[in-house]
Structure 1
């Protein structure tokens, strides 16, 4: 196969970049020719003679809105000139004005805007007006990108539902969950002392960007008030200028909440706790939740967190609403009441995670490529329109 992958970055340090990285690695390992059209790539991949990197340098013009549109125009022009060189073109959401065979969807701006937790209002000033314009423009562009693809690949059931809400036929969807490194994230010896954590309590872990309220740490703190005193919470995330230490103090649980800021060695931290809690108000696909499963942690989450559909009663608890504070407290208390049960659920979580490894995810993409290339009518390659009409 000759595959073109269009993405801003192929990297190991963010979710979408890691998905692209694992797909490229699997393609190269299988002996396929890969061209990456993007801005950044892991240098080690460039050593493979089967890989070609065509760089579109990031524009120096201000704002992501302008930068992304310039990338979309430049990549679309390049694809128009080179389309016939490839068996299949794979893009990520709205990234180019060119048509594609596969569009992997990691986030749906339409879903985020309509989810009920979208925080931006026009009356909040110039910055809010820009953020609102950015969201609305991406809603418009994404819909056209989805319609222009032969197959749309949502990364979770939540994302699939949001894609269908934009008018895409369910028959054109092929869901593939993101993966997780089951070697890096795995059960093992605890490191509580290293992280300055107490040795005795039942430790819950919350990890996420504390600058965004949608991660819903406030609900976890309020729920902790109604749990037994031996249940403590570890919060991994930057605490600068965030309101949560003050909220924990106001709620009278400051002694049970351990803010440890950013953590470089998340696998070691996950091996040091007893369960993972993640009631995010909105999430397309939670990689940190998959990492917790791989680390043999039972998970307490909510249906609004993308990827929650993989969790069953054997390995966790999925609540209907992120605002169900009483339900969250009850689930946490139930887990903490029986540590042996929590460990058993953790082992079930680990077994589940092994079916969601990066390797298995990549093989699902390669199988989809094979199916699409085989299904294409003889002589049809390169005959589709090269760009999506802005007026369509």
Structure 2
């Protein structure tokens, strides 16, 4: 197959970019040809045969909103000249104005716009207004993009339901995100000394953006007040974060350790007892899958698409992100019940093994093959249709 994929970036360190990285990597291993329209492609992918990078530069534009619109315009112009070369075109949300065969849906702006945790509802300033404008414009364009795509691939059942709130699209194929099960795996021999973390105490881990309220670190801190003995380690850039001060105000500074941005999350997960991530909105976050692969029981919410995997077998699903009582109860149980934690840990790893990047990429490739065959069949049918040259029957 000759496949064209349109995405902003392909690299290992980001959600959507990581998904596309793994898809392209697996497609290339199977000797298909891939053209990538992107602003950045990981160098290791470019060393592989059968890949062509069509660079879409948005450097110099001042905001992400403008960069996205410029990317869409440039990618549209480029695709108009080359789209007939490919068996199928896959895009990611609203990213181009060209019609696509497959659209991978990693985020639904229309749903985020309604969320009580949207920045505009929390901050009535320039930042809040910008975020409102960003989400509103994307919510309009994503609807157009979905309507111009033959097949949609939501990354969770939650995302699928959100799409169906504003469209009656019939070709939806849920493919959840994956995880590197060789990089993330259980290993209780890992020492906490490297991070100066206390030994022989229950240790919870949170990893993510701690500047935004969407990830809901504030609820974790508030609930921790009533969970005696529990320690929390937080991985995420602390610049501009209000939560260091909140931890002090709640008198948790001796039980909460902020490590800043980390690139050693796999090892950090090996020394934690459980992962807590009560996000206020999430499509299918990779960090929770990484925690499951590391054998960590997970506490999350129904607002996170990955809760479909966690269920009751690998952790606890809090009914609502603001449910401090439920969150505190779950953290206390995982802090004190070793047997429960071990049982959930085993299940977590088993669930993650079914979501390896290889198996997820294989699902995408299977869909590629089906869509490509479907297109070939349609071309065949159209060729066989009798041609009407406009000659009328004279009746003689």
* TM-score, with length taken from structure 2: 0.92
Instruction: Give the distance between the partners of 2:10 and 2:123, measured in 1 at CA.
Output: 37
Q: For residues 107-143 of structure 1, what are the alpha-carbon distances to aligned partners after superposition, in whole Å with 9 as ceiling and x for unaligned?
A: 1111110122212159934443333222111111100
CA RMSD, 1 decimal: 1.8
The secondary structure found in structure 2 opposite 1:102 is: strand
Q: How does 1:278-317 map to 2 (within 5 A)?
A: 278-317=277-316
Spell out, residue by residue over 1:226-268, the C-alpha distance to the aligned partner (whole angstroms, 9 max, x if none): 22x2221111122234232332232233222122222220011
Query: Shift in Å at residue 81 of structure 1?
Result: 1.5
1:293-372 to 2 correspondence within 5 Å?
A: 293-372=292-371
Asked which structure has the greater RCO (Cα within 8 Å, sep 6+), the reply is 1
Counterpart for residue 388 of structure 2: none
Match of 1:22 in 2: 22
Q: Which residue of 2 aligns with 1:256?
A: 255
Query: Could you tell me how far apart the structure 2 residues matched to 1:282 and 1:9 are?
Result: 23
TM-score normalised by length of structure 1: 0.93
- Give the 3 Å change call, closer, same or farther, for CA 125–241 of structure 1 in structure 2: closer
> Match of 2:194, SS?
coil
CA offset at residue 206 of structure 1? 1.0
1:152-191 correspondence runs (5 A) = 152-169=152-169, 171-188=170-187, 189-191=189-191
Residue 62 (1) aligns with residue 51 (2): no
Secondary structure at the aligned position of 2:76 is classed as helix
Tell me the equivalent position of 1:135. Answer: 135
Question: Does the CA contact (< 8 Å) of 1:122 and 1:129 recur in 2?
Answer: no
The offset of 1:37, in angstroms, is: 1.2
Where does the alignment leave 5 or more consecutive residues of structure 2 unmatched? 383-396
**Counterpart in the other structure of 2:96:** 96
2:53 aligned residue = 53
Q: Deviations over 1:77-130 (max 9, x none)?
A: 221221211111000000000000000011111111012221215993444333
| 8 Å contact from structure 1 (residues 283, 305) kept in 2 | yes
CA contact (8 A) 1:146 1:168 kept: no
Which 4+ runs in 1 deviate beyond 4 A?
none
Q: How many residues align?
A: 380
Query: Given that residues 160 and 174 in structure 2 are in contact (C-alpha distance below 8 angstroms), is that contact kept between their aligned partners in structure 1?
Result: yes
Provide the C-alpha distance between the structure 1 equivalents of 2:327 and 2:185, rounded to a whole number of angstroms.
Answer: 26
Q: Which runs of 5+ in 1 are unaligned?
A: 384-392
Give, in angstroms, the shift of residue 64 of structure 1: 2.0
Shift of 1:156: 1.5
